[in-house]
Structure 1
Amino acid sequence: MKKHYYLLLIFALLSVKLNAQQTGKISREDSLMNAMAAANPPQAATTAIFASSRLILSETNETVKKGNLNFLVIHRFGDIGGPFGGGQSLFGLDNSSDIYIGFEYGLGQNLDIQFGRSKFQQLIDLGLKYNIVHQSNDGSPVAITLLGKMGLKPYKNIGAFNAYSDRFAYVAQAIIGHKFSRAFSMQITPTFVSSNTAQPALPGNDKRFFALGAAARLKITKRMGIVVDYAHPFSTFRSNSPAPDKFYDPIGVGIEVETGGHVFTINFSNAKAISQTNYLSDTRSDIGKGEFRLGFTISRIFDLSGHKSSK
């Protein structure tokens, strides 16, 4: 029952150890960050925490620069093992548990608007993301970004909704990140989830609950890093749920690769869903039974401002 506390403790201990081993100034990301980080005066020495706006499960502190468009393709395949995996489904590659197509457009240097559509329960979401504090060498030791999203399920589970307004769900999140060194970055994400109708539609399920996430990236080469992403919903219903509707904390492990204007992440996760509303509310895959899946994220920035990006 306490495994989620141990995982969060491991994140904290690892960050302290790496911070103690490495000193000196922290530099900007040297690839995609010219289109992600806000335009601050040189003396501010603003630090980019991560290479893109997405990890495996979590969004990051990074917002899209004004006039730029971030195009996202995120995919989760089917179970590698378990009753629906194995050779019969080519270890999940024949199936897809979720596919997300999304767009993030920079309205200002610290503000972007998001729109996306998921295969999982046909969720459509709209959000705003605002970076209120930047980490800098001579200023704040952390970056803080606020994220608000509204989701609508217009097609799925028609019988579960008594009114159209019951189809809406909301996510409010604070993303608190810190870059400890050129190689190691970490963030925590306190989150509040609210649904007009509890999802999934099970007796006693919570309409509202808090969750806490933690994610970290350790760079192993200039353009490649290991990413770990984890979240724990604080929900009595989910903690005490019996089989076959037993819930599990979503977790993912992957490799992130920066290739010029792209950031590509290949990962394994027990979360079937991609959007926060879905994976925080409804992760029922047991890693111990092989119920985890291969996934990937592709992020590509397009400059729509009409001006050449400064190097």
Structure 2
Amino acid sequence: MKKYLILLSCIVTSFNLAAQKTHQANKPSATDSLMNAMSGANDTKTDPVIATFKSTRLILSETSETVKKNNLNFVVIHRFGDIGGVAGGGKTFWGLDNSSDIYIGFEYGITNNLDIDFGRSKFEQQIDLGLKYAILHQTANDATPFAITLLGKAGLKPYANDGSFNTYADRFTYIAQAIIARKFSPKFSMQLTPTFVRDNSVYPYLPGNENQFFALGIAGRLKVTKRLGIILDYAHPFSSFRQHATGDNAFYDPLGVGIEIETGGHVFTINFSNAKAISESSYLSDTQSKWTKGQFRLGFTISRIFDLNSKHKNNFK
């Protein structure tokens, strides 16, 4: 845990120093222009800051960004198997023969500040339904220095039938999250994500495990070229059970590093993470893979926004 915090502190510090040197705005990319047009932003100092992050997803966590009204975001997330360790190596082509989780999801903008999310994971066959609401926007003049987005999700494990669930209600899990984000410069953004996790039936199913706990995530993005960024995503569950578990039942903090590529219509992320699961309730509850044992895996995220608003289509002809 201490090593992860030291690593995190060093990376965040280096990101912040780089951001201070690159505070002047570059020419906006295609995604920036599209987001500006959708939000109706202009150049006045009181306008909300646009595109704190390039998409609604990083590696582990969701960002403060919401899908704009009448837009549909199609998301595909994939985690391969362990690169090293007992389950990795050449026999599994360093994890590429396996998949620890696959997620397919849809995010639809009800308003510019509210979207509804639906998705399904391979991990525990979990189905997620959520609402995401941006209640506060950072402004260009720093009158409001950060953005706050609220996220609530309910997950259902409909097919698990190993005797772990006494009632159907035990199959549900919930998360509540406040995403606090700031765009420090055109090149550097960062967010904190205090999170509450509730499992109606303890997960994983081990004696002494807790039904609910708090977690704190921190994530950052450093833009290195017009279309390429470096991203970092880390979370720490505040769980006495997880902190004291040892041996085969030991838990570790989820940590992911990667690059983000903007390709015009798509945002593509290539990453490495020790988290097997993709849904927040699963990776916060059950990350038992350790980086130093080679128990980390290659993953990717593809995000594609479809603008279903005819007015916007006319504007871009």
Structure 2 residue runs of 5 or longer lacking an equivalent are none
The one-letter code matched in structure 1 to 2:95 is G
SS at match of 2:310: coil
Q: Determine if the alignment matches structure 1 residue 87 to structure 2 residue 90.
A: yes
Identical-pair percentage: 61
Q: Residues of 1 paired with 2:55 and 2:7: CA distance? A: 24
Q: Which residue of 2 aligns with 1:277?
A: 281
- Following superposition, the deviation at residue 41 of structure 1 comes to 4.8
Q: Residues of 1 paired with 2:165 and 2:239: CA distance? A: 22
SS at match of 2:163: helix
The one-letter code matched in structure 1 to 2:121 is S
Q: Residues of 2 paired with 1:25 and 1:40: CA distance? A: 19
Deviates more, 1:229-238 or 1:39-48: 39-48
Q: Residues of 1 paired with 2:231 and 2:37: CA distance? A: 20
Q: Determine if the alignment matches structure 1 residue 45 to structure 2 residue 47.
A: yes
CA contact (8 A) 1:18 1:180 kept: no
Q: Which residue of 2 aligns with 1:6?
A: 6
- Following superposition, the deviation at residue 303 of structure 1 comes to 1.3
CA contact (8 A) 1:33 1:52 kept: no
Q: Aligned to 1:119, which of 119, 122, 126? A: 122
- Following superposition, the deviation at residue 153 of structure 1 comes to 0.5
- Following superposition, the deviation at residue 5 of structure 1 comes to 4.1
Kindly report which structure 2 residues correspond to 1:251-266, keeping only aligned pairs within 5 A, or say none: 251-266=255-270
CA contact (8 A) 2:198 2:211 kept: yes
CA gap 1:61/1:69 in 2 versus in 1, 3 angstroms: same
Q: Which residue of 2 aligns with 1:186?
A: 190
- Following superposition, the deviation at residue 285 of structure 1 comes to 0.5
Q: Determine if the alignment matches structure 1 residue 159 to structure 2 residue 163.
A: yes
Kindly report which structure 2 residues correspond to 1:127-206, keeping only aligned pairs within 5 A, or say none: 127-138=130-141, 139-206=143-210
Q: Which residue of 2 aligns with 1:67?
A: 70
TM-score (norm 1): 0.94
SS at match of 1:237: helix
Kindly report which structure 2 residues correspond to 1:193-272, keeping only aligned pairs within 5 A, or say none: 193-272=197-276
**C-alpha deviations, 1:185-244, integer Å up to 9, x for none?**
111111000111110000000111000001111111100011111000000100111110
The one-letter code matched in structure 2 to 1:115 is F
SS at match of 1:307: helix
SS at match of 1:160: coil
The one-letter code matched in structure 1 to 2:193 is T
CA contact (8 A) 1:77 1:293 kept: yes
Deviates more, 1:14-23 or 1:202-211: 14-23
SS at match of 1:159: coil
CA contact (8 A) 1:35 1:64 kept: no
SS at match of 1:69: strand
The one-letter code matched in structure 2 to 1:228 is L
Q: Aligned to 2:113, which of 106, 110, 114? A: 110
The one-letter code matched in structure 2 to 1:308 is H
SS at match of 1:222: coil
- Following superposition, the deviation at residue 180 of structure 1 comes to 1.1
Deviates more, 1:285-294 or 1:130-139: 130-139
Q: Residues of 2 paired with 1:256 and 1:250: CA distance? A: 19
Q: Determine if the alignment matches structure 1 residue 34 to structure 2 residue 38.
A: no
Q: Determine if the alignment matches structure 1 residue 56 to structure 2 residue 89.
A: no
- Following superposition, the deviation at residue 271 of structure 1 comes to 0.3
Q: Residues of 2 paired with 1:79 and 1:128: CA distance? A: 32
Q: Residues of 2 paired with 1:28 and 1:195: CA distance? A: 43
- Following superposition, the deviation at residue 99 of structure 1 comes to 0.1
Q: Residues of 1 paired with 2:52 and 2:115: CA distance? A: 17
CA gap 1:2/1:37 in 2 versus in 1, 3 angstroms: farther
CA gap 1:194/1:37 in 2 versus in 1, 3 angstroms: farther
CA contact (8 A) 2:23 2:186 kept: no
